[in-house]
Structure 1
């Protein structure tokens, strides 16, 4: 898979990195532009990354109709964020009450990313690595499975800290490898898979339960949060959720069946109980 190899530094002070997103500043200020990646950069040239193919439990998601952020269970959400920073080489990370990093050892860490585009929010969709790339090459490179396995994306998925969430621009050979380690993590009940209710089914009783107890696919959590905040503050009535999902029209195809459909068709509702009918690694979302 050809991507742009971009060396630089990971930066965490003043930011709120979670388990699938972190700030990165290329050594070459023109690196993103030269690679045709339309990333949004700050005054220092740093951009927020979206780590490709993975989705960590939400630590600060603000629904469209809510003034305040929602989150998923802290032990796994914060644990994924800590694991990511540890893999990148940070230690002694301190945060304020809003999750903003106020101190870390060291304050920046060298590394590189492999990327080829930015998402609609201007985040560079990337595979991230600590240290220097073997061989030192930059520019256009071909990502193969051995190098994929060294990425923090692969390591977080293998350890069960994150869910697989695949998009259509991810090449099939890389997706197959990431699906393989996801299935293995679930079989070993690592991390999120020890408590996952996405596939076994969840019975929703309160908003507090959704945020502090249930461990579910973050994509489903975000859709539930967006839906619930359209209603009265205490409501958790799921009667309108299927129609809400249909209106969102998240287009997907399934693998290996190759069925083109919508995410809504894969979420089964029976009164206050929801269940995803196929495993997350068998779903490929179309990039918006």
Structure 2
């Protein structure tokens, strides 16, 4: 498939780092207009207290309003298992259409059963405004973006390429961070390797890569921007010369020793609903479930 790659266009990319979840959200601005997209936003949760807040999202909303940007898209690179999406909250404040990869339907089907969501929960992706297929394009003002389906971490993972910038979600980390786990339901290390190599071999070397999480390996400062060239030369898991079999063996061994993400239970229940909380009960209270021996 031929993709509309245009590295001559440089969108303005503004990062917002959430220290509690080590998540980087982005506002991506068309330099020729006031249009923008918000990618992988964060809703705050005090897990112990059972309280939701919007500090991280409000910082983005304030920035958007201060600069009078028109929000055209709210993009989720996948259904995150380590933070809750604030997309519907931001949408309620500043507008925009909410999009995710079409295989969110697979994720919804799997986790809808795990959390016993019942027949009222629709696992058809209808909670989102658009479900992206591989190769789909969309516009942010005068910018044309396109979508690469990059499964492996989850079935619904996508990479969004906007001018000379690619937003890879959890498909890749910084070169010294390597790659994300592939042991969630529907994840697969071999598929992840092929998705990563597709990104690195499809996009020009100068393409800027923006990641969704960074944990400061070795105590270094948090970073979120790299390039295809740097990933191919230095990524500790998938640099040029690392074979698929080597990666799969490493990833499977590494994943088997990892604990579940701290916020996996609330995150997945909210994110399969496109960032919406579960419906309230007859007394107006909302509840998140704790399935036993589900993973």
Do they superpose with TM above 0.5?
no
Larger strand percent: 1
Could you state the TM-score of these two structures normalised by the residue count of structure 2?
A: 0.30
Instruction: Pick 1 or 2: higher relative contact order, CA cutoff 8 A, min separation 6.
Output: 1
TM (norm. structure 1) is: 0.30
